[in-house]
Amino acid sequence: MDIVTVGIGVTMFLFVILALVAVLMIAKSRLVNSGAVTITINGDPDKALRVPAGSTLLNTLADNKIFIPSACGGGGSCGVCKVEVHSGGGSILPTEKTHISPKEARHGCRLSCQVKVKQDMEIEVEPEVFSVKKW
């Protein structure tokens, strides 16, 4: 093997890797929501949050010092972290159907640990949640 063949091989390998990275970056920019979204809580503009998209509603609210009770820590197995999502939450997931009745689902009830923050949302939480502190 001469040095030219090795050089061409390394160059082609790097080109293929860079092309794959470019494809992934383009796909990410088109498929994954990014940027800031607004979450309006209990219809009160004073409680509205401007947050980055991408995390779960439970984690996003916790990052903003609004602690929704969740016994399982966000795993979707306890059903404690229920909130009402009036807009922006998407459709109910199969993991939520074991904890949310069809009647609750019609009223917008969702598990905050399963809802991804992808767009502007309007949610309703119990007023007591605002007095919950983290231990």
Residues 72 and 103 in one domain: yes
CATH number reported for the structural domain that contains residue 99 in this entry:
3.10.20.30
Report pLDDT digits (tens) over 34-83. 788 999 999 888 889 999 988 899 999 999 988 888 888 888 889 899 99
C-alpha 75/C-alpha 98 separation (Å) is: 13
Contact yes or no for 109/84 (Cβ under 8 A): yes
What pTM, to 2 d.p., does this model score? 0.72
pLDDT of residue 131: 76
Report pLDDT digits (tens) over 17-28. 999 999 999 998
Q: Which residues of 49-67 are buried (b: 16+ CB within 10 A; e: fewer)?
A: bebebeebbbebbbeeebb
pLDDT of residue 70: 87
Residues 9 and 53 in one domain: no
pLDDT of residue 57: 92
Residues 64 and 2 in one domain: no
Report pLDDT digits (tens) over 101-124. 999 999 999 999 999 998 899 999
